[in-house]
Chain A
Amino acid sequence: MLSLKKNLLAEPFSHIYVERELVGDRRTQEILHRFAHARVIEIGHYKDVFCRPRQHTALQHASQALILARKTGSLIYPGSPVCQNFGNHHFYYTSLCMNCVFDCQYCYLRGMYPSGHLVLFMNLEDYIAELETLLLEHPVYLCISYDTELCALENLHGYVHAFARETERHENLTIEVRTKTSCTQLLRSLPGSSRVIFAFTLSPEEVIRYEKKTPSLQARLEAVREGLDLGHTIRLCFDPMIHVPEWRKAYSRMMETIVKELGEERLRHVFDFSIGSFRISQDYLRALRKSTDSAVVQYPFVNVDGFYQYPPETAEEMENTMTGLLLPYAGRDRIFRWREQI
């Protein structure tokens, strides 16, 4: 079926939809120049394409179109209760992009969005302006790569660089860049900063097989190693932990690989660690289960206050196991667990 798919489907980014008012925009033109062979389709509003009913998100993920749009309304949001806040009171996130070039079967985005196409918002200046208004009131801890994978497309938009520059201009701004990439080029191109946190999501290979198009554990660890050596602030995220067969062995083997690749000394320089077992809002899970029969999604989760998660004793055991694996290399004060913040 894979070859049938490959032969029939359009190449990713073979079509780029552009909101009409952005056609003359400099940044838009720069992006279009990078896709010289793409067919450009002018549209009125990104929702005309992104929010059509009955879309086939799985096929769209395999043949993603790019939609360049302008985001209006509120641009920076308070973090959701299921997000790890790492003890930050003014915890916010922003969506510069909707959807992701990766295709993780368990990803809440598959349940959250009606389309698998990728929307990139071009009005960076508006985001920065709203951020600056917030910064006048209090310090801000901002996750810039939550509903997407910004690092994978940094060459296209340069938004990680742009927000990193903002941390230089504002002492009370810290940003977190969550990634599953092996973004060594990006790390080399930025100076290390205590207020730009690169948060690498690490998973055992047994879980990575559910994360289509993502780099291997090995490749991610190479980027982590280089990031640490370059003086970047690195967070290692074991979140979401996924209940796969023999998960204890899988996570244990992953930890062995991490220690082998990074060494104990580097692990001491990791800023902190995040642990969280899989959880998802009930609405998103309903949509997600319709889109795939993957075992990681069909697991019999339990509903706790509107969020589906593993049964408490299973989740507790998974997170305790991961904490136990980390403790020889990290103090308890550097290990954050989602369950403990609520």
Chain B
Amino acid sequence: MIFLQMALYCEARPILQHEAFHAMPPVGRFQRWQTEDMMLTLSGTGQAEAATCAAVTCAMHHPTASDLFVVLGTCAALEGKAEKGRLYRARSIEDLGSGRVFYPDLVLDLGLPEAGLLSGYQELKSQKERVWYRDGRDLPALYDMESAAACAAAGHFFGPHQIVVLRIPSDSGDDAGLVTPERISDMIGQQMDTLDSVFQRLKAFSELLGQESAQVMEEDPAFLEQTEAALRCSASMSLRFRQLVRYACSAGIAYREILERYVQEGLLPVTGRKEGKDLLAQFEKELTR
């Protein structure tokens, strides 16, 4: 699942129209929409709203190793280096309140230009004199009021490779008053082809993460418990048995055949703990010879 968090409805509108989302019941004041593999939530503007929204989403849905958290929306461009209307991926998000910098992992190649993102607590025009950009002098620098807190909250649930921050500069702070909801929708709408390709890559990456985590094999718990009972396992014997099974699975050893033979030969179930220990030792020997 891709958890997409945006601040404003006018930002989300082109995506909602494009991706065939259906509305879900809101949680508190957070409106939500969903497709088969994406959930879009509107946080409202500001760090507190962004953090609360991210925390609520994560706490409700218990993200797994294959899920992704994506912050998407418009922002202000700093120092004139960022191109208005273009989609950027933030490679660093600096919280202007605490000075803490969050670095999303960039192992996933999205094919987007990158930018440094400053995330503050006031509108840019009122604190522009405080802003000085530190990450790479030739880099486009952006400013928003949500990403730092959203990443901080999501960071409790997701790894840095699962968090992606995407921003489209809509103004330079000074001209923010000229930016209407219609203009923001247009701006996002014009990036829909790029966003579509980004979403495809995010979905493929999510699939890859799922495959990677599925490599950690789990045997049928009922079968394990049954066999442990037949072996009269103590807690430490159970741990040993489960490790042997895991080894056998990863080494491609048909361990069930060995256990079935024990049953046919009348060795399993055992009559006492000592016998169980001896049989477990024999099982280990057969697996590792």
Chain A interface (Cβ < 8 Å from any Cβ of B): 1, 4-5, 7-11, 14-15, 17, 20, 39-44, 48-49, 52-56, 58-60, 62-63, 65, 243, 245, 290, 292-295, 297-300, 311, 314
Contact = CB atoms under 8 A, between A and B. Distances in A.
A63 B105 CA distance: 10
Given A15-B106, A48-B101, A298 B243 contact: yes
Given A44-B101, A56-B159, A293-B216, A39 B114 contact: yes
Interface residues of B, number: 41
Contacts of A54: 158-160
B208 A10 contact: no
Interface stretch (B124-132, B245-253, B271-279): B245-253
Contact of A300 (B135, B161, B240, B252): B240
A293 B91 contact: no
A52 B251 CA distance: 32
Interface in B181-204: 201, 204
A20 B99 CA distance: 15
Contacts, number: 111
* Chain A contact residues, majority secondary structure: mixed
A41 B288 contact: no
B284 interface: yes
Contacts of B158: 54
Contact of A4 (B91, B208, B249): B208
A43 B207 CA distance: 31
Contacts of B159: 52-56
16 contacts: A4-B204, A4-B211, A20-B134, A41-B135, A41-B136, A42-B136, A56-B105, A59-B161, A59-B209, A60-B107, A63-B109, A292-B215, A294-B250, A297-B250, A298-B246, A299-B288
A293 B105 CA distance: 24
A280 to B, nearest CB: 14
Given A41-B91, A298-B246, A53 B108 contact: no
A8 B212 CA distance: 14
Contact of A43 (B103, B106, B108): B103
Contacts of A20: 134
Given A52-B160, A55-B161, A293-B216, A1 B103 contact: no
The 9 closest A-B pairs by CB, nearest first: A54-B159, A295-B251, A10-B109, A63-B107, A295-B250, A298-B247, A298-B250, A293-B250, A56-B161
